[in-house]
Chains A and B, each alone.
Chain A
């Protein structure tokens, strides 16, 4: 009972303060039986579903492995088809190595760059619009839709086939893609280079990845409390991850709508 006066004081203070909307932390129930029983029922349902599914549908099994007979199309396991689909728009070093690594690292740093204290432990969109929008865009629009495309819409030669079309291995698709310096109005520049590195692409990539976020920082950081709280380091990471993620839809639009293959060609890598 020694703690009683302390409690009373806290209660008085709480009464004086504006009433919080959240429930008191004491609202707890016993795990046994309330949690354990639903876990038990859930396990039984999942196990039963898995058994029925496994009795009904056999796992795929094709002819023995034959290194001399390449199937067309050769597809990675379905959960990696988002990465294989990115190969259409980026070279393997980017689509297969750099972007997957950045996805993993980017996911890991989320708790450290999202410094918004609200929305911790409950569903809300209003209180964290930017974070939720970014995640939904990356997960649903990019990752899931690329997997769906790779699984259902890609046929021989990795060409696009609608579900009602026959997979014709001899489908002819005109290769009309050109690199940016040879496209439309950029032709007049004559593709200037320095040490074999295209200057046009260098300029664009520098503008996009460095000048744009730095300029935005100097434009907004004085007036935006969010940017001030983030600080330059966290802001830099957010901007880099955001711009890298947006690089994929940008390249998709450039390729699909404008037939542009590479933005930037260098002796070592192409973007």
Chain B
């Protein structure tokens, strides 16, 4: 019996299908440890080896990793929410109620999306805090810090655009308060310094461009939906690719030189 099982295992492991997917076995050898990382597109975010101190949780706090994990959670739950949600003023709120009461696990998915979004804002700040306190932005990692700051801004913008989508009192007034700032933009906002010089009006200034009108209305909902689900995630993903790639190219995770 055991011999048959062993033969079966051998047949599977040596079959063309198996070997087309996995190029190495699982035995714990230095070569396999390296291949686990090198021959796996996902694991290949990592180098085969890292500095010993870099795997200590009290050095990195794991904050960059947690931020990325939350981004993945947000992508998955966000796609599920998109199946049920229409970014139209007449339907948006009703769809939220539908998610809450009728869709199986709808409220759980919405809750996870909401709390993961808040969590991501916190973890991305803590990640920046950690990177600053370890001086990891110093040469040769200057440019990756700059990308990190852009990613932090994108995280805030993603969270902010998502805030409007439930289309309840909380969302439109929070977004109204937030976007009211845009009308005070120097030159580009109708209440900002030198507005007359630029000739902007309430209907034709930075805020109106952002909102698609003079108030937070149906065009704003559509704009924020497109920004939230397409533009900002794609931009953030592209910059994340650069961010992770640069860690490797700038000599791996920082440490005493």
B119 within 8 A of A: yes
A97 touches B186 (CB 8 A): yes
CB atoms of A35 and B73 under 8 A apart: no
User: Do residues B136 and A121 form an inter-chain contact, with CB atoms below 8 A?
Assistant: yes
User: Would B50 and A104 count as touching, CB distance under 8 A?
Assistant: no
Q: In the complex, are the beta carbons of A96 and B184 less than 8 A apart?
A: yes
A257 to B66, CA, bound (A): 43
A144 shortest CB reach to chain B, Å:
9
User: Would A93 and B192 be within 8 Å (CB), given that A83-B181, A121-B257 are in contact?
Assistant: yes
Q: Which of A84, A96, A123 counts the most chain B CB atoms within 10 A? A: A96
> Is the pair B142, A97 in contact by a Cβ cutoff of 8 Å?
no
Interface status of A6 (Cβ within 8 A of chain B): no
Instruction: Look across to chain A and name the residue whose beta carbon is closest to the beta carbon of B62.
Output: A42
| Chain B residues whose C-beta falls within 8 Å of the C-beta of A60 in the assembled complex | 170
Q: Are A97 and B189 also in contact (CB < 8 A) when A79-B156, A120-B138 are?
A: yes
Interface string of B79-90 (1 = CB under 8 A from A): 000000000010
Contact between A28 and B49, CB atoms less than 8 A apart? yes
CB nearest neighbor in A for B46: A31
Contact of A93 among B43, B52, B113, B193 (CB under 8 A): B193
A52 to B39, CA, bound (A): 35
Contact A28 B52 (CB under 8 A): yes
- A77 & B49 in contact (Cβ 8 Å cutoff): no
Tell me the minimal C-beta distance from B69 to chain A in angstroms. Answer: 5
Given known A61-B168, A71-B169, A110-B137, contact A92–B255 (CB-CB < 8 A): no
CB pair B177–A65 under 8 Å, yes or no, is no
Check if B121 sits within 8 Å of A79, measured CB to CB.
Answer: yes
Alpha-carbon distance A63/B163, docked complex (angstroms): 15
Residues of chain A within 8 A of B62, CB atoms compared: 38-39, 42
Interface residue? B37 (CB, 8 A):
yes
With a 10 A CB-CB cut-off, give which of A55, A62, A64, A128 has the most chain B CB atoms. Answer: A64
* Closest Cβ–Cβ distance, residue A96 to chain B (whole Å): 3
Q: Is A70's beta carbon under 8 Å from chain B?
A: yes
User: Which of A29, A53, A74, A107 is B55 in contact with, Cβ under 8 Å?
Assistant: A29
* Complex: chain B residue closest to A111, CB-CB: B142
A43 at the interface (CB under 8 A from B): yes
B160 neighbours in A (Cβ, 8 Å): 77, 80
* 28 A–B contacts from the bound complex (CB under 8 Å): A28-B50, A32-B37, A36-B36, A38-B55, A50-B70, A54-B108, A54-B114, A59-B111, A59-B113, A61-B166, A64-B93, A65-B93, A65-B172, A66-B169, A66-B172, A74-B174, A76-B178, A77-B160, A78-B118, A80-B160, A83-B181, A91-B184, A111-B145, A112-B142, A116-B138, A120-B257, A121-B256, A139-B129
B residues engaging A (CB < 8 A)? 30, 33-34, 36-37, 43, 46-55, 57, 62, 65-66, 69-70, 73, 89, 93, 96, 100, 107-108, 110-116, 118-119, 121, 128-129, 132-139, 141-142, 145-146, 149-150, 152-153, 156, 159-160, 163, 166-174, 176-178, 180-186, 189, 191-194, 215-217, 254-257
Given contacts A23-B256, A50-B115, 8 further A-B contacts (CB under 8 A): A22-B257, A31-B46, A51-B108, A77-B163, A93-B189, A107-B152, A123-B133, A135-B132
